[in-house]
Amino acid sequence: MSGDQATYLHFHYLSFVLPQSHYSLYRESENIVARICLPQMQWQGRDEKVEAYAGAVAGVMEMETNPRRQEKYIEYVEQYARLDEAERALFGERYPREGKQVETVISRARSEGVQEGHKEGRQEERSSMLLHFLERRFGEKAKESYRERIEGATMSELEVWLDRFLDAERIEDVFLDH
């Protein structure tokens, strides 16, 4: 077989090797990506490492207003900075405002994670309960025909269906869309 040759994709990109640039060149940048990447750039010794980390944290808090994104970006900064205990103590001493901001973002993320875990647990519990009830009253086959819908349901849908189950004469009565 033969045919014409063609280029399917062709693009240009910018190459930027983070460790080859000193963090101080981007410490005050208004580009949030540059600020988040400060800990991955070149720095010398503990003082500069902590200063790069502080600049990244300050950049996230100044430029990003969405709490979920703040959490994601701080998590990224934490992952790449890898401060040890002494560096974290130095950060707390030299940058108390940024230290409080990091603590706030991390504690908010943890509490939301716990709340989300409880919510998911209650939702799974209600799904399981409804599936069990359906099987007891209407049989295994009926339960399996609604399993996917139940497992993908919201908490409010599950509560409506559980209420309807109590009065339902047929399985269809539980899932009526009124």
What are the boundaries of each domain within the chain? Answer: 15-94, 119-178
Evaluate if pTM is beyond 0.85: no
The model's pLDDT over 78-109, given as tens digits with 9 standing for 90+, comes to: 888 999 999 989 999 999 988 888 888 777 76
| pLDDT at residue 110 is higher than 70 | no
Mean pLDDT of 110-118: 60
Mean pLDDT of the chain: 86
Task: Please tell me the predicted confidence (pLDDT) of residue 178.
Answer: 47
Mean pLDDT of 155-175: 88
Mean pLDDT of 56-82: 89
| Residue found under tokens 């409010």 | 156
| Residue found under tokens 């109590």 | 166
Task: Please tell me the predicted confidence (pLDDT) of residue 32.
Answer: 93
What span, in angstroms and rounded, lies between the C-alpha atoms of 78 and 125? Answer: 35
DSSP codes joined into one string, the chain: -------S---------GGGSBGGGTTT-S-HHHHHTGGGSB--HHHHHHHHHHHHHHHHHHH---HHHHHHHHHHHHHHH---HHHHHHHHHH-HHHHHHHHHHHHHHHHHHHHHHHHHHHHHHHHHHHHHHHHHHH-HHHHHHHHHHHHT--HHHHHHHHHHHHH-SSHHHHT---
What span, in angstroms and rounded, lies between the C-alpha atoms of 49 and 92? Answer: 13
134: exposed, middle or buried (C-beta count within 10 Å: 0-12, 13-18, 19+)? Answer: buried
Task: Please tell me the predicted confidence (pLDDT) of residue 55.
Answer: 95
Q: Return the closest-CA partner of residue 49 out of 96, 77, 9, 81.
A: 81
Mean pLDDT of 10-26: 88
Task: Please tell me the predicted confidence (pLDDT) of residue 139.
Answer: 92
